[in-house]
């Protein structure tokens, strides 16, 4: 079946540090890949996405590249801010040979705390 594995957290950084959160996946079909973010007390928001191999998703200074050869979708940001403190979830949606995509499969989430 499908699965998503994220790096263990929590991650604590100083402001302006470089961020990487690793994500690898297992899928049986042709997945779309996503990063979602959950700020304290809020719901899940789509941060970025990539729908095919070698696509790069980007938003708010965050980037992730769909690497089919390594089945990875690592999240990066060059200079984090205190406001980036949140929980980050990697996820996939897999067509699995059909014409419709079904459920999102989520990683376990990574808590990021950025200190001034």
Partner 1 sequence: GAGVSQSPSNKVTEKGKDVELRCDPISGHTALYWYRQSLGQGLEFLIYFQGNSAPDKSGLPSDRFSAERTGGSVSTLTIQRTQQEDSAVYLCASSEQGGRYGYTFGSGTRLTVV
Distance separating alpha carbons of residues 100 and 43, to the nearest angstrom: 25
Instruction: Kindly tell me which residue out of 79, 102, 111, 115 binds partner 1, with binding defined by CB under 8 A.
Output: 102
Shortest Å distance, C-beta 109 to partner 1: 6
Q: Using CB under 8 A, which residues numbered 36 to 75 contact partner 1?
A: 36, 42-46, 49, 51
Told to check if 100 binds partner 1 by CB under 8 A, we report yes
Shortest Å distance, C-beta 17 to partner 1: 26
Instruction: Kindly tell me which residue out of 13, 85, 106, 113 binds partner 1, with binding defined by CB under 8 A.
Output: 106
Among residues 30 and 71, whose Cβ is nearest to partner 1? 30
Distances (CA, A) of 62 to 5, 19, 36, 81: 19, 9, 11, 12
| Cβ-Cβ contacts under 8 Å for 104 (sequence gap 6 or more) | 34, 91, 92, 93
| Cβ-Cβ contacts under 8 Å for 41 (sequence gap 6 or more) | none
Instruction: Kindly tell me which residue out of 34, 66, 73, 88 binds partner 1, with binding defined by CB under 8 A.
Output: 34
Told to check if 25 binds partner 1 by CB under 8 A, we report no
Instruction: Report how many residues bind partner 1 under the rule CB under 8 A.
Output: 23
First to last CA, the chain: 41
Question: To 5 degrees, how large is the angle CA 20–CA 86–CA 32?
Answer: 60
Told to check if 97 binds partner 1 by CB under 8 A, we report no
């Amino acid at each position: 079946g499908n699965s998503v594995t994220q790096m263990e957290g929590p991650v604590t950084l100083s402001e302006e540090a470089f961020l990487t959160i690793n994500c690898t996946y297992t899928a049986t079909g042709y997945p779309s890949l996503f990063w979602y973010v959950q700020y304290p007390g809020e719901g899940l928001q789509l941060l970025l996405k990539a729908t095919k191999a070698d696509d790069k998703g980007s938003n708010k200074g965050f980037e992730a590249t769909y690497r089919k050869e390594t089945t990875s979708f690592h999240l990066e940001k060059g200079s984090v801010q205190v406001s980036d403190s949140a929980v980050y979830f990697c996820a996939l949606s897999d067509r699995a040979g059909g014409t419709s995509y079904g459920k999102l499969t989520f990683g376990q989430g990574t808590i990021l705390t950025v200190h001034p």
